Amino acid sequence: MDPRDPITSTRGVGPVLERRLTAAGCRRVLDLLAHLPLRYEDRRTLGRLPGADHRATESAAPGPLTVVAQLESVRRVFGRRRFSRVEAVACDGAARVGVVWFNRPYLAQQLEEGVPYLLHGPLRRRGGDGPWQLSNPSVERISGGEPNGGPFDGGGVRPVYGRIGEVPPSRVARLAGDAIRGLRDTSGPDWIEEWLPCEERIRHGLPRLAQALTEVHSPSGEASIEDLNARRSPAHARLAYGEFLLQQLQLAAARRQRRRSGKPHRYRADRVAWAAASRLVPFRLTGAQERVLGEIADDLARNEPMLRLVQGDVGSGKTVLAALSCLMAARSGLQSALMAPTELLAEQHFTSLARLLGSHMTIALVTSSQCAASDDGSVSRPESTEERIAAGRIDLVVGTHALIQERTRFARLGLAVIDEQHRFGVVQRQSLARKGLRPDLLVMTATPIPRSLALTVYGDLDVSVLDELPPGRRPIETRVTTDGRMEETVEEVRRRLESGGRAYVVFPLIDGGEGVATGLPSLKEFGPRWARALAAPHGVVHGRLRRQERDETMSRFAAGSIQVLLATTVIEVGVDVPEATAMVILGAERFGLAQLHQLRGRIGRGTDPALGDPLCVAITGDSSAEAKRRLEAFAATTDGFRIAEEDMRQRGPGEILGTRQAGLPQFRFGDLARDWRWLVAARQDASGVLDRLAGPGNDALRRQLERRIPGLMSPEEGSPRP
Ligand code: ADP
Ligand code: MG
C-alpha cells in the first residue's frame, strides 16, 4: 500500500464511501491523512464507576472518566418540545451509574444490553449534588477484547476527528486508523518518502514524515496530551515546519529568479538628482523619509525590479515618497501608476500629488466616470486621457487598482505604486505580471505589521519603515467612556470647534433597520442629537449616498463651511483635513483595533497651534472583557506598530493580514499564530537549503518543489508525497 494510492485501497472504503470522500476532495490515502485530528482524548487509565458513597472523585481532578461497563435499561426519554435524550444505567460489576446522551437518538436502537462498552466522558453529579451521572460519553462496543475490531489496548490516546464532507467523525477515525495500520504493515515504519533535508530535520529535532503522520493519527503516548491538543507535539511541529519551509523555498526561489531576469527599463537618477527633487516639496523631509527614499533610490538603480513595502503610520508622509519616486521615473522617460483601493482615495491622491509636483510632471486621474488631466485641462483636444497614456504623454496615472489594471495601456510603465492602506498587493502584483508588465513596485501600507511577520510572510518583499511623524504634530488624547457621559464630551468638542477646528462623529451603522436589532447607535437615530448638541454647521456622509453628494459634503467640510461631519467608516481611509481636531466614535466596541486606529488617524494631522490638542473619544455601551481590553489598548497608545502588535496578540496574525482577501497562502498544518517560531525558522533556513538543492540527497525535496510551482498551497500541492 502506498500513500498516493486511491482512497479505495484503505480497508472498508466501498463505492458509497468513496463517492462521499471524493466529493469532499479526499481522493488519495494521503488526502485522508492530511485531515488531522481536532483533539485527543486520554483513555490511558481505565477508571471505575463511583459507588453511591463515593467521594474521591469530587476532590480529584475533574477530568473525564474512562471505564469498561455494560449497559442496562437503555431507553429514549422525550422531554419538552421535540427534544429527546437517551438514558441508560452503566454497570462495571461493582457500581451502577446513570448515563445520558443528548442529540443522539439513534443510540437507543444501537446500544445492546449485557455486552461490554468502553465509555469515556465527564462524570458529574446530577443537579450538582444528586447521584453520579456520565454525561454524553463517547461509547464503543468492545467485542472479544477489541473495540471496533481494532486491537484493544485499554484505550490509549484517542484522536477525535471532524467530519469530512458527509462522512461522520467516528467513521473518519476508523478510516485513518486503518490507513496508518495498512501503510505500516505493507511498507514498514518509513512508509512515505522523506523530503525534508536531513540537516534541518536533525538540527530542529524533528521526526521523519512517516513517523510524524503516524504519531498524529495514532499517538504512541510519548507526547503529552496537552501538547497533542495544542498541536505543539514534535509530530505536529514537523508537519508545520515542512509546510512553511516549502513555502519559504518557493518565495526564495522566485526572488532569485527575479534577480536574475533583470528589468527592461533604466533610471537616469543619481544621488544629486534625488536630492534636488526632494527640494521641490514645500517642507523638509523627516529623517525617516530621507532614509526610506534612499532605499527606494537604491532599488530603482538596480538591475532587478524593486519590490518594496513601505510601512508608515497614518500621516507619516508616504505620499511624498511615492510622488518623488514617480518624478524620478518621469525624468528618466518612464511612466508611473499609482493605485488606490477606492476612487475617493484615488481622487485625493491625485489632488495632493498635483499640488505637490503637478508643475514638474503630467498627472492624470482615471475614474470610472471620467478622466481628467492636471496640466492644461484642454477639453478641446480630441485625444482622450487613455490615448495620451498609451502614447506616453502622461507621466503619472492615478486611479483604483481595478481601473488601472483593466483599462489602461501604458507606453512604457516603469514604476507602479500600490497604496494598499489595509491590504497587501499580492493579488495586484500577480495581475500586473499577468499583463506582461514588470515595473518596479512600491507598496505602501498604513496598517503596520510587525516587521518580522511581514518579512516572513512576504519573504520576497523588502520592507522599509517610516517610524517618524513630520514635526509639529500634537499627540492625540484618547478617552474611552460609556454612553452616559455625553455632556462632558460635547463640551470638549465644542471648545475645539470654537477655535476653528472640525469634528467627526462616527457611527457604526447608517440606520437601525439593518437586519436584527443590534442595540448599536445609528447615524439616522442619533445623528440629529449630536448635531443639535454640537450646535455647528454639519454634514452627513455614508456609503449609501451618491458619490457626488458625498464628495461635495467632504469638500465643504475641508473648506470649513461645515464643521461637523456625521459619518460612517467611509471616512476611514485617506481623508486629509488638517483642521480636524476632534473625533467621537460611537459604538466603539463594534470596531477592531486597527480600524479604530485608522479612524483616529483622521484627526491631529494639522500643525497650527491655535487649533489646540486633538481629542478622540470612544464611546461604548458594551463592557465585555474583550471589548474593554481592545479599547484600553486603543487608548493606551497612538503608535501604530504597538497597536499592530497588540492586535496580533488579540486576534492572531491571520486576521491581521486579512488572510483570504490578500491572497496569502493558506496553510494546512501550520498556523501563523501558533507556529510562528517555525515560520521564522523556515524563513532563516530557506536560503541555505536552496543553495544545496542541486546537490546529492535532495531529489525528494526537488520533486516537492517542482510540483508546487503552478500554485501556492492548494491541498494537492501542499500534501506531502513520496
Ligand atoms: P500618509 O499617506 O503616510 O498617511 P501623507 O503622505 O498623506 O501621509 O502625509 C500627511 C500630511 O503630512 C500631508 O499633508 C503631507 O503634506 C504632510 N507631510 C508629509 N511629509 C511631511 C514633512 N516632512 N514635513 C511636514 N509635513 C509633511
Ligand atoms: Mg496616504
Q: Which positions ≥6 away from 323 have C-beta within 8 Å? A: 281, 353, 356, 357
Centre of ligand 2 from the C-alpha of residue 573, in Å: 8
Q: Using a 6 Å cutoff on CB, does residue 602 contact ligand 1?
A: no
Centre of ligand 2 from the C-alpha of residue 315, in Å: 7
Q: Using a 6 Å cutoff on CB, does residue 317 contact ligand 1?
A: yes
Ligand at shortest distance from the CA of 315: 1
pLDDT of residue 445: 81
- What are the tens digits of pLDDT across the range 603-655? 988 888 888 899 999 999 877 888 888 899 999 988 887 887 777 777 766 55
Q: What is the mean pLDDT of the chain?
A: 83
* Position 187 pLDDT exceeds 90: yes
DSSP classification of residue 338: E
56 or 222, higher pLDDT:
222
Arithmetic mean of pLDDT, 150-168:
76
Q: Using a 6 Å cutoff on CB, does residue 574 contact ligand 1?
A: no
Centre of ligand 1 from the C-alpha of residue 317, in Å: 4
Q: Which atom of ligand 1 is nearest to the CA of 319?
A: 6
- What are the tens digits of pLDDT across the range 468-494? 888 888 889 999 998 777 888 999 999
CB atoms within 10 A of CB 706: 9
**How many whole angstroms separate alpha carbon 355 and alpha carbon 281?**
10
Number of H helices, E strands in the chain: 27, 24
* Position 709 pLDDT exceeds 70: no
CB atoms within 10 A of CB 340: 26
Q: Using a 6 Å cutoff on CB, does residue 606 contact ligand 1?
A: no
Q: Which positions ≥6 away from 249 have C-beta within 8 Å? A: 686, 689, 690, 693, 705
Strand order in the sheet with 84-91: 123-125, 132-135, 96-102, 84-91, 65-78, 116-121, 138-143, 146-147
- What are the tens digits of pLDDT across the range 257-279? 777 778 889 999 888 999 999 99
Cβ proximity of 310 and 445 under 8 Å: yes
3-state secondary structure 409-421: CCCCEEEEEEEEE
Q: Using a 6 Å cutoff on CB, does residue 446 contact ligand 1?
A: yes
Centre of ligand 2 from the C-alpha of residue 421, in Å: 7
Q: Using a 6 Å cutoff on CB, does residue 580 contact ligand 1?
A: no
pLDDT of residue 570: 79
Strand order in the sheet with 502-506: 477-482, 615-620, 580-585, 502-506, 564-567, 538-541
* Structure-derived torsion over alpha carbons of residues 249, 254, 259, 262, reported in degrees to the nearest 10: 170
pLDDT of residue 144: 52
Q: Using a 6 Å cutoff on CB, does residue 314 contact ligand 1?
A: yes
Backbone angles phi, psi at 133, to 5 degrees: -150, 140
pLDDT of residue 719: 36
Q: Using a 6 Å cutoff on CB, does residue 576 contact ligand 1?
A: yes
Cβ proximity of 501 and 581 under 8 Å: yes
Cβ proximity of 271 and 294 under 8 Å: no
Report helix, strand or coil for 678.
Answer: helix
Q: Which positions ≥6 away from 688 have C-beta within 8 Å? A: none
Quickly state the pLDDT bin for 572 (edges 50, 70, 90).
low
Ligand at shortest distance from the CA of 470: 1
Q: Residue with the nearest Cα to atom 18 of ligand 1?
A: 317
C-alpha cell at 507: 457611527
Q: Residue with the nearest Cα to atom 24 of ligand 1?
A: 470
* Best mutation site among 316, 345, 349, 573 for ligand 1 pocket (most ligand atoms within 8 Å of CB): 316
- The percentage of residues in the chain with a pLDDT greater than 70, rounded to a whole number, is 84
3-state secondary structure 14-78: CHHHHHHHHHCCCCEHHHHHCCCCCEEEEECCCCCCCCCCCCHHHHCCCCCEEEEEEEEEEEEEE
Backbone angles phi, psi at 464, to 5 degrees: -115, 150
* Best mutation site among 281, 283, 293, 473 for ligand 1 pocket (most ligand atoms within 8 Å of CB): 283
Q: Residue with the nearest Cα to atom 19 of ligand 1?
A: 317
Q: Using a 6 Å cutoff on CB, does residue 348 contact ligand 1?
A: no
Ligand at shortest distance from the CA of 285: 1
Please state whether beta strands 396-400 and 335-340 pair in parallel, antiparallel, or not at all (unpaired): parallel
Q: Using a 6 Å cutoff on CB, does residue 316 contact ligand 1?
A: yes
* Best mutation site among 292, 319, 357 for ligand 1 pocket (most ligand atoms within 8 Å of CB): 319
Q: Using a 6 Å cutoff on CB, does residue 312 contact ligand 1?
A: yes
Centre of ligand 1 from the C-alpha of residue 315, in Å: 5
